């Protein structure tokens, strides 16, 4: 508590999915001064707005969670936007932090930064061993530049900028818009809608053979908080649960939890994305004592319950 009581914390993306869980983690730690700018107050793609934000508030710690992100379909639809906005937000914020002498910045990268054919489990040392999977490479490379910038600024200016790589997030307050959502919220909404409308089948993208590791957002916020307090090194750090599951098995698990009794149809004309994703999370545990606590079944049950409570008007549409 001593560390946190001394901080004036700026959280970008505080109004988003991960940001909401981050604010809960900070409140639990008794943080009194938290700056939570929204886009209407500060456009992070505009350098003047960013510099004014940092200079006027003088934070001691910045948690850069803001991102423009989505599933495979959203990445394919707007690759230019996903590259540009994510890149410039980081560029401007880290430069503003350097100019203002912010003591520490924690930046959040993405699993999409890893090469397409990274050996499983993904280890941080393999981050530069190839080009990312094409369906989300622009997003992944934009976020990867935050690592380059953080390490360059540490080398030249002595900036204490650290970089974390969380795996696929899910949980309450996720994005359930089928045009831009990730796989778990999309599956929950599709299965629940099909159950309520008595649809005979649900059509899902790909073959179902690709695998992913999923990470409860509340756990991720805890990992970020531990890194903010204890980690001060230039090397990137994976954050994840260490559990891998195929999309087919995930879909069947969510189908059973939802209670939908129809048929799943796999549309193999749609992309699977990267074939496997699972992280080596040993560096996080060794460096700042982080280990995920929420198992997939418990996390899914919590997320389904939250969706049913908060989106009853969407469940039957």
Please report, for the chain, the start and end positions of each structural domain, with discontinuous segments joined by +: 2-167+216-242+277-293
- Burial group, residue 24, by CB count within 10 angstroms (0-12, 13-18, 19+): middle
The pTM score is 0.94
Rounded distance, CA 112 to CA 132, Å?
7
The pLDDT, as a whole number, for residue 317 is 45
pLDDT 10s digits, 224-275? 999 999 999 999 999 999 999 999 999 999 999 999 999 999 999 998 888 8
The pLDDT, as a whole number, for residue 73 is 80
% of the chain exceeding 70 in pLDDT: 98
Give the CATH architecture of domain 2-167+216-242+277-293: 3-Layer(aba) Sandwich (3.40)
Catalytic center residues:
139
pLDDT 10s digits, 127-143? 999 999 998 999 999 99
Q: Look at strands 8-12 and 237-239 and give their pairing.
A: unpaired
CB neighbours of 68 closer than 8 A, spacing ≥ 6? 81, 82, 85, 86, 139
pLDDT 10s digits, 166-186? 999 999 999 999 888 889 999
If you write DSSP's letter for every residue of the chain in order, what string do you get? Answer: -HHHHT-EEEEETTTSHHHHHHHHHHHHTT--EEE---TTT--TTSHHHHHHHHHHH--SEEEE-------HHHHHH-HHHHHHHHHHHHHHHHHHHHHHT-SEEEEE--GGGSBTTPPSSB-GGGTTSSPBPGGGHHHHHHHHHHHHHHHHHHHHH---EEEEEE-EEE-TT----TTT--HHHHHHHHHHHHHHHT-SEEEEES-S--EEEEEEHHHHHHHHHHHHHH---SS-EEE----EEEHHHHHHHHHHHHT--SEEEEETTS---SS---B--HHHHHHH-------HHHHHHHHHHHHHHH-HHHHT-
Lowest mean pLDDT among 22-26, 158-162, 309-313: 309-313
pLDDT 10s digits, 2-14? 899 999 999 999 9
Mean pLDDT of the chain, nearest integer:
94
């Amino acid at each position: 508590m001593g560390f946190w009581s001394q901080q004036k914390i700026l959280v970008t993306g505080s109004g988003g999915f991960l940001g909401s869980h981050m604010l809960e983690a900070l409140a639990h730690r008794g943080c009194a001064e938290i700056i939570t700018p929204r886009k209407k107050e500060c456009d992070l793609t505009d350098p003047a707005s960013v510099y004014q934000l940092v200079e006027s508030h003088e934070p001691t710690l910045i948690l850069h969670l803001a991102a423009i992100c989505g599933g495979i379909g959203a990445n394919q639809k707007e690759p230019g936007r996903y590259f540009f906005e994510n890149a410039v937000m980081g560029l401007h914020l880290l430069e503003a932090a350097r100019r203002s002498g912010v003591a520490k910045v924690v930046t959040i990268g993405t699993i999409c930064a890893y090469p397409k054919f990274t050996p499983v489990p993904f280890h941080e040392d393999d981050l530069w061993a190839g080009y990312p999977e094409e369906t989300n490479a622009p997003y992944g490379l934009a976020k990867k530049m935050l690592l380059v910038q953080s390490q360059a600024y540490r080398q030249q200016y002595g900036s204490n900028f650290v970089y974390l790589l969380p795996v696929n997030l899910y949980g309450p307050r996720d994005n359930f818009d089928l045009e831009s959502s990730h796989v778990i919220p999309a599956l929950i909404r599709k299965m629940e809608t099909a159950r309520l409308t008595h649809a005979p089948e649900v059509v899902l993208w790909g073959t179902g053979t690709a695998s992913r590791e999923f990470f409860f957002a509340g756990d991720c916020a805890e990992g970020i908080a531990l890194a903010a307090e204890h980690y001060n090194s230039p090397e990137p750090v994976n954050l994840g649960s260490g559990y891998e599951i195929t999309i087919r098995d995930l879909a069947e698990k969510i189908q059973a939890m939802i209670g939908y009794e129809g048929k799943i149809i796999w549309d193999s004309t749609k992309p699977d994305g990267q074939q496997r994703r699972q992280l080596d999370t040993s560096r996080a545990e060794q460096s700042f004592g982080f280990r995920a606590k929420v198992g997939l079944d418990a996390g899914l049950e919590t997320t389904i319950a939250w969706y049913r409570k908060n989106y009853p008007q969407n469940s039957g549409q």
